[in-house]
Amino acid sequence: MVSLGALSGALEQGLVYAVMALGVYLTFRVLNFPDLTVDGSFPLGAAVAAKLICSGVDPVLATAVAPVLGFVAGATTGVLNTKLRISGILAGILTMTALYSVNLRIMGRANIPLLRSATVLTTLKGLGVPGGIAALLLFLASAVAVKLVLDAFLRTEFGLALRATGDNEVMIRSLGVNTDSMKIIGLGLSNALVALSGAMVAQYQGFADIGMGIGMVVAGLASVIIGGAIIAPASIGLATFGVVAGSVVYRFAVFIALRMGFAPTDLKIVTAALVVIALSGPAIRASLGVERRRALGHGKAEASSKNVLARNH
């Protein structure tokens, strides 16, 4: 039997990682920028929060510092890409690689345990929230708040310019927007969310680890893709809702995979395969469609007669 505790654990994870997935959505979908900084900025947030908490800083404040450093990390990738003209993928890889050293410097070692430390969760419990639902409440509130703020942000004048930078750079530049600045700020905001998620995950799981960011961008992308598949992104609000839902579904899928006997270390290849299947869908469908038309002996004749009909209408 699957225990209720295990299920609510998957839900908690889905919600806390949703904040990261919303960051990935901002770069991959809105800015149309494949940003790999995420694998470094996620443990960056965890490292900063863990180190500060261990140094006696209030956990709420420690958590709040994480997105600031995350912003700097993302903006660095943005500067590498726009000012130094390094390709987007490589710029992200360079920042991510550099962050490995930075994160180790911050932590001083590869792992900081937080099991006996005060965290945002113990702060909540101190405020009278029952221990059993503290994590669920906090992560639900975080995911919903980030989603709503992101929705509103993307509908402001600034948000419109950011979206247009991802959609049509030539046009929005002709309308007077500095697209370099847009990319730098967009990457910064995205990685601020990723680092915030990292800081909360560290406190939730009870440790920060140098390797906790590996495969994070693929997991985020998987959530974004699943979200787009289960909820048609007809508007910004629906798209971000889909991302949150996608993150939850993804964590449940991980939970099920583990129950089926996959080793935790095998999950990366399962996730990667999931993303490959999702991304290759259109290409495979297109080639299958061509094959089928050929097999049926239609193809051109049918297509052209359709066009004539369309014109007559």
Residue 231 in the binding site for other proteins (CB under 8 A) = no
Report CA-CA distances (Å) from 239 to 39, 161, 245: 23, 18, 10
| Binders of other proteins in range 158-177 (CB under 8 A) | 158-161, 163-164, 167-168, 170-177
**Cβ 287 to other proteins shortest distance, Å:** 24
H or E segment to which residue 252 belongs = helix 236-259
Which one, 50 or 161, has the nearer CB to other proteins? 161
Which one, 121 or 154, has the nearer CB to other proteins? 154
Retrieve residue 161's tokens: 């310019």
Task: Concatenate the DSSP letters of all residues of 4-25 into one string.
Answer: HHHHHHHHHHHHHHHHHHHHHH
Residue 8 in the binding site for other proteins (CB under 8 A) = no
Closest listed residue to residue 113, CA positions, set 198, 161, 153, 53: 53
- To 5 degrees, how large is the angle CA 134–CA 139–CA 145? 125
Q: How far apart are CA 116 and CA 114, in angstroms?
A: 6
Which one, 112 or 172, has the nearer CB to other proteins? 172
Asked if 1 and 185 count as a contact pair (C-beta separation under 8 A), the reply is: no
Asked if 45 and 196 count as a contact pair (C-beta separation under 8 A), the reply is: yes
Q: Phi then psi for 208, rounded to 5 degrees?
A: -110, 135
**Cβ 40 to other proteins shortest distance, Å:** 28
| Binders of other proteins in range 172-201 (CB under 8 A) | 172-179
Q: How far apart are CA 264 and CA 105, in angstroms?
A: 27
Which one, 5 or 176, has the nearer CB to other proteins? 176
Residue 146 in the binding site for other proteins (CB under 8 A) = no
Which one, 61 or 158, has the nearer CB to other proteins? 158
Q: How far apart are CA 208 and CA 22, in angstroms?
A: 21
**Cβ 159 to other proteins shortest distance, Å:** 6
Residue 157 in the binding site for other proteins (CB under 8 A) = yes
From residue 104 to residue 143, what is the string marking binding to other proteins with x (rule CB under 8 A)?
----------------------------------------
The 3-state DSSP class for residue 18 equals helix
**Cβ 177 to other proteins shortest distance, Å:** 6
**Cβ 171 to other proteins shortest distance, Å:** 6
Q: Kindly list the residues in this chain that would bind other proteins in the complex (CB under 8 A).
A: 153, 155-161, 163-164, 167-168, 170-179
